[in-house]
Structure 1
Amino acid sequence: MFHNKNVRAAAEIAILETNDYFLKTNSSLRVNRMSQEDLRWCIHFSRQSPFPLEWLNVGQDIDHNEHYNFCFKIFSNGERPSGCCACRYITTERKVVIEMLQSFADEGDELDGRMTAYSIVTILYFLKEIRGLGIFIENPVNEEILRHYMKNFHFKDVFGDGSLLFRSADDLAYLIPEWLQNNQ
């Protein structure tokens, strides 16, 4: 069983491995742990979105040992995040719960249309390190997003009401490289 300090260490390793992946694929993206400054950007950008999310709720969890919060940045955009993901690791179930996922990428940017896939990549590195089993997604923001997760990434609706989706790490590790190859 992993303890909180191991969750934090696994998160740091996952970020390093994700950035190594981005370097190897000549990507301009980088991923970092979410900072308070990143959170302020999320709040600002989300308020301008047609689907604003409650990023304020993430504030108390940024430094929590069981949470794996990260953001993507594109070098050309400076220090502002282009997308953010707030996750929680359930130690007893060995699964990550995506609580919030939002892209702020401009149309045509590298992250545009790929936020979910790249988030899954970094979460898979985390799950590999911590020997986790899969990913839950809580309360997708609307039906279109729910269908996106289910159609493109084959998440299963746990309760049949769209409130909780799940996909195993093994299934996603097989699916994601093919999805990224077909959606460049």
Structure 2
Amino acid sequence: MQTFVLAGGCFWCLDAAYRALQGVESVVSGYTGGTTPDPDYELVCTGATGHAEAVKITFDPERIPADVILDAFFTMHDPRQLNHQGADRGTQYRSAMFPADDAQRELFEAARTRASDIWDAPIGDAEGTIVTTIEPLGVFYDAEDYHQDFFAKNPTQGYCLAVAAPKVNKVRARFAQFAA
């Protein structure tokens, strides 16, 4: 098994899209990249903790390649949006990758380069560039229970219908051979 920690906007969307792929064994929504110990949702939403809403994806690389997990990440969110995705705004919604070691860092850098080609945007911090950061993996704090598998538990909720469902469908279409 292999585990990646990724942040790309609201964790509900990433959670739902990754659960739609075969070979993904678990997805945990949580917070990482900040300085406040044991943050909760309300505190993270203030932007004061430095944490990002993130997901910890554990997958079987013999069933789904690491590159597919990473390319799906760059498919399900827009890595050109600095500190937001759609209407969700703040550093807690940043696009970030949190490698556990040097090998993951290399995989993440290669995926970010591929995303630059897919989105026809250079890597950088100017408007229209890939702004996804690669940050050290610190402590990952699990989000509250009601955030886990939110999409499946709340399929008719407005955000799920308007934002999460299209992202899940986009990932299923692009990676159909891995769709669950």
Normalising by the residue count of structure 1, what TM-score does the alignment of the two structures yield?
Answer: 0.35
More helix by share: 1
